[in-house]
Structure 1
Amino acid sequence: MERIVLGDVEITRIVEWQGPFGPARAIVPGAGPEVWRDHEKWLAPEHWEPGTDSFVAALQTWVLRSDGMTVLVDTGVGNGRERPHTPQFAHRQTDFLGQLATAGVRPEDVDIVVNTHVHADHVGWNTVEREGEWVPAFPNARYLIAAADHASVDPQSDHSLGRPDDHLVFADSIAPVRHAGQAVLWEDTHRIDAHLTLEPAPGHTPGSSVLRLESGTDRAVFVGDVLHSPVQILDPSCNSCFCEDERAAAATRRRLLERAADERELVIPAHFAGSGTAEVRRAGSGFAITGWA
């Protein structure tokens, strides 16, 4: 279990699952084979399996202890979910809550849950099943969900996109939180405490967001799925196959990397395996990774 401290904020990483997820160039179609080969020395084996040409990913949650609160950033896939269109996420059984307990976090200790966006692998442990019903996993927490993403998955919304499995994700991971009165649907920006602020980062989904951390002289940004692979740092015009508005996603990615490089923010994506936190700098028209935390 990995921990780092930035200013007055302690960060613990909880990995629900890690391994090969799919063909590398299917996940990041814009990154040609030469990009992966030329950077094999640091992409393999943590981010790329050359032998099978597989993208290596992690499903993980970041636990932040900040200003006396316990904050979870994204909640993974969850157990026992019906996901017919994403079989990698279906009927999983992991000891995620046990891992949280090992990190010293009981469900009732969690004050805030941040869903950087509403995709199945970021909201699953919002809830657990009890006596055949889905209920909030963290009974005392406020769940921060971007209003635009909530509308995109709510089948009753005029803005519902009707993506495969969205109705299931909404039914088992979002609606129970709303019904319990624990959901906070936010727009524009949302300040959590003196160190943490949520900001819109649209493109990957309509309500995709990032969480900025500023404490003392330390800076970090939890970017969710704005980045899936380190090759997107080298060339931010490369989207993942999951980005819903490709032009907006690429513009958001470049904007966030420019700020991270200029302001020395650590970049913390949702799915980087191995060393999950990158230091970046400008390099020509793109960016380079100067170190890992």
Structure 2
Amino acid sequence: MSIPHATRPTTAVPAWAVGDVTVRRIDEILLPPATGPWLLPDATPAVVAEQDWLRPHFADDQGVLHLHSHTFAFTVGGLRVLVDTGIGNGKERANPAWHNLDTDYLERLASAGFPPESVDLVILTHLHADHVGWNTREANGEWVPTFPNARYVTSRTEREFWAGYDMEEARRQMFLDSVIPVEEAGLLDLVDVPSGGAAIAPNVRLVPTPGHTPGHVAVELTSRGRTALITGDCIHHPVQLAHPSIGACVDIDPEQSEASRRTLLGSLADTDALILGTHFAPPTAGRIVSHQGTYRLSPVPADTH
């Protein structure tokens, strides 16, 4: 499917308080309307229309899904942390919505208080092109780490899976420009993530959510009795709260992806935990509440400054 170029988002820096920690959303692009039917083909307009609560933020009146590309940044335990790195600029990508972007993402990141050289930890929920793109930037004709002082972290299972995968050319190119330069610089750390999760920084834990990819993780943040969870691609869109069986066309193991999604939703439903969707359109964050036998999202507006 041909997906036209996305558009630049607005300039404000939305943020949410999680105890003493402020989580900032760093916007990259608004994804084009064709993304939804391609990515979540079972989320048809009729299915979307059944959920009034999706409108107007997460879908329009015609049942077209709103999807977004952004990352999250916060400071915890003295560490400046970035979760996922988006699509990146100037990358050759098969998806035209991601191809050869020219966004002001790094300026947004710096204006939020996270200039690249200040970042201590980059967490990669998984190794897909729209989550690793700003791992690197071009300098003197070469791809070099964007965050030269950071420890980049991903699941060992994730990296080892792709190491043994027979990659098509587009994916091979993505690894060449966005993953391997970080490895060659000695900055990529592989973490074993057991079923109970793995603590990788003060109050930050990787939660295994396999299926979309074999080593996919969500990111849990806690502070002063408050909890937030960054979904990665375990959940792409809030419609999956109402229909956890709806998966992405690019899920490696659709059944496992659904099982991970159901487990995660069940653990968070009707609690004070804040869920931050990696592709959720603004308002992006909310709490999961039981609704008609499954769930819906109760949005939590961001502070914008």
Question: Structure 2-normalised TM-score?
Answer: 0.88
Equivalence for 2:167:
162
Segments of 5+ residues of structure 1 without an aligned counterpart are none
| Structure 1 residue 149 displacement after superposition | 2.1
CA distance change for structure 1 residues 111 and 170 in 2, over 3 Å: closer, same or farther?
A: same
- For 1:78, give the aligned amino acid: G
CA distance change for structure 1 residues 165 and 19 in 2, over 3 Å: closer, same or farther?
A: closer
1:28 to 40, 54, 62: 40
Q: Does 1:46 align with 2:57?
A: yes
CA deviations over 1:96-139 (Å, ceiling 9, x no partner): 11111111211111000011111100000001111111110011
SS at match of 2:57: coil
**Distance in 1, Cα, partners of 2:213 & 2:166:** 10
Contact conserved, 2:36 with 2:67, CA < 8 A, in 1?
A: no
SS at match of 1:220: strand
CA distance change for structure 1 residues 278 and 37 in 2, over 3 Å: closer, same or farther?
A: same
Q: Does 1:184 align with 2:189?
A: yes
**Distance in 2, Cα, partners of 1:274 & 1:164:** 33
Identical pairs, percent: 36
CA deviations over 1:208-229 (Å, ceiling 9, x no partner): 1011111112111111011111
Equivalence for 1:67:
77
**Distance in 1, Cα, partners of 2:173 & 2:39:** 23
Equivalence for 1:240:
248
- For 1:260, give the aligned amino acid: L
Equivalence for 1:145:
154
**Distance in 1, Cα, partners of 2:86 & 2:35:** 21
Q: Please, which moves more after superposition, 216-225 or 182-191?
A: 182-191
**Distance in 2, Cα, partners of 1:147 & 1:289:** 32
2:14 to 2, 27, 35: 2
1:92 to 94, 101, 106: 101
Equivalence for 2:145:
136
CA deviations over 1:245-284 (Å, ceiling 9, x no partner): 1000000000000111154321112100111012112235
| Structure 1 residue 164 displacement after superposition | 5.3
CA distance change for structure 1 residues 143 and 33 in 2, over 3 Å: closer, same or farther?
A: same
- For 2:71, give the aligned amino acid: T
**Distance in 1, Cα, partners of 2:169 & 2:42:** 24
1:14 to 12, 26, 35: 26
- For 1:291, give the aligned amino acid: P
Equivalence for 1:202:
210
**Distance in 1, Cα, partners of 2:15 & 2:135:** 23
CA deviations over 1:52-105 (Å, ceiling 9, x no partner): x5322111010111111110011110011011x212111101111111111121
SS at match of 2:43: coil
SS at match of 2:131: helix
- For 1:264, give the aligned amino acid: D
SS at match of 1:63: strand
Question: Structure 1-normalised TM-score?
Answer: 0.92
Contact conserved, 2:238 with 2:296, CA < 8 A, in 1?
A: no
**Distance in 2, Cα, partners of 1:288 & 1:151:** 35
Runs of 4 or more consecutive aligned structure 1 residues displaced over 6 Å after TM superposition = none
SS at match of 1:54: coil
**Distance in 2, Cα, partners of 1:161 & 1:209:** 22
| Structure 1 residue 19 displacement after superposition | 4.1
CA deviations over 1:14-36 (Å, ceiling 9, x no partner): 11011434164443233343321
**Distance in 2, Cα, partners of 1:209 & 1:291:** 23
**Distance in 1, Cα, partners of 2:297 & 2:87:** 28
Q: Please, which moves more after superposition, 23-32 or 119-128?
A: 23-32
Contact conserved, 1:23 with 1:54, CA < 8 A, in 2?
A: no
- For 1:13, give the aligned amino acid: R
Equivalence for 1:37:
49
Equivalence for 2:8:
none
**Distance in 1, Cα, partners of 2:137 & 2:299:** 37
| Structure 1 residue 45 displacement after superposition | 3.8
Contact conserved, 1:152 with 1:161, CA < 8 A, in 2?
A: no
- For 1:229, give the aligned amino acid: H
**Distance in 2, Cα, partners of 1:30 & 1:54:** 12
The CA RMSD measured in Å over matched residues stands at: 1.8
Equivalence for 2:272:
264
SS at match of 1:251: helix
CA distance change for structure 1 residues 164 and 49 in 2, over 3 Å: closer, same or farther?
A: farther
| Structure 1 residue 3 displacement after superposition | 1.4
Contact conserved, 2:137 with 2:143, CA < 8 A, in 1?
A: yes
